[in-house]
Amino acid sequence: MPKSSLDSFIQSIKDVKKLIAIAVSGLICSQVIALLAGIQPPWPKGILMLTSMIELLVLMMAWHFSSVSEKMNTGKILVILFSLLCIFSLAYIFMYSLFVYNIPETSTDIVLGCGLTHDSQLVLSLNKIDLKTITDTCPGEFTRILSSAEFEATRVWTPWTVKLNQVVIFALWLAAFSCLAAFMGIFVAYHKRQKSP
């Protein structure tokens, strides 16, 4: 009786349990480390669960496509995925360090924006604070005005820039973990093929 692709997949899992355990635990550990280091994106809520689901899907797709394709240049693909992982991770760290602010005396992080709202500009001008010192860089020196706005980023910066930064930070996070999951899936599938007669 011919085996279905599901039977083949289950047999492959049995054959390489140790490698799969290493791959999956590596993906889980990387998220736990990010959580403990406090560098997960503040938006959206439930990011770690969503990331786990995306990683699982990417891992399954990478496993499937790399295990059925004999002509795949695995070494080149792994180098590309590792390079993309480094690029996305560095871009994420840059955006996180520039646009994520920890509210003092709390464990709450918020995402900042660019371009002060009209109300923020009025407050600054009434307090005789030179706007050029505030808006020379993005997000600028913002601590006083942000605390007076009760740490509501959209009251200080234009809401669309806050949302844009949230989405970019989230996308870079997912891209980095997707590259990691694809790398692990292809790596495990490659070593499974090497073990097969």
User: What is the per-residue pLDDT for 136?
Assistant: 46
Percent of the chain whose predicted confidence (pLDDT) is above 70? 75
pTM value?
0.80
User: What is the per-residue pLDDT for 191?
Assistant: 75
Question: Average pLDDT of 25-43?
Answer: 77
User: What is the per-residue pLDDT for 120?
Assistant: 79
Q: What is the pLDDT of residues 146-164, one digit of tens each?
A: 888 889 999 888 999 999 9
Residue 111 contacts by C-beta under 8 Å, 6 or more apart in sequence? 41, 42, 43, 99, 100, 101, 153, 162, 165, 166, 169
Question: Average pLDDT of 43-49?
Answer: 85
User: What is the per-residue pLDDT for 32?
Assistant: 74
Other Cβ atoms less than 10 A from the Cβ of 19: the count is 18
Question: Average pLDDT of 89-109?
Answer: 93
Q: Where are the domains of the chain?
A: 5-113+158-195
Q: How confident is the model at residue 167 (pLDDT cuts 50, 70, 90)?
A: very high
Judged against a pLDDT cut of 70, whether residue 141 lies above it is answered with: no
Residue 8 contacts by C-beta under 8 Å, 6 or more apart in sequence? none
Q: How far is CA 117 from the centre of its chain?
A: 28
Percent of the chain whose predicted confidence (pLDDT) is above 90? 30
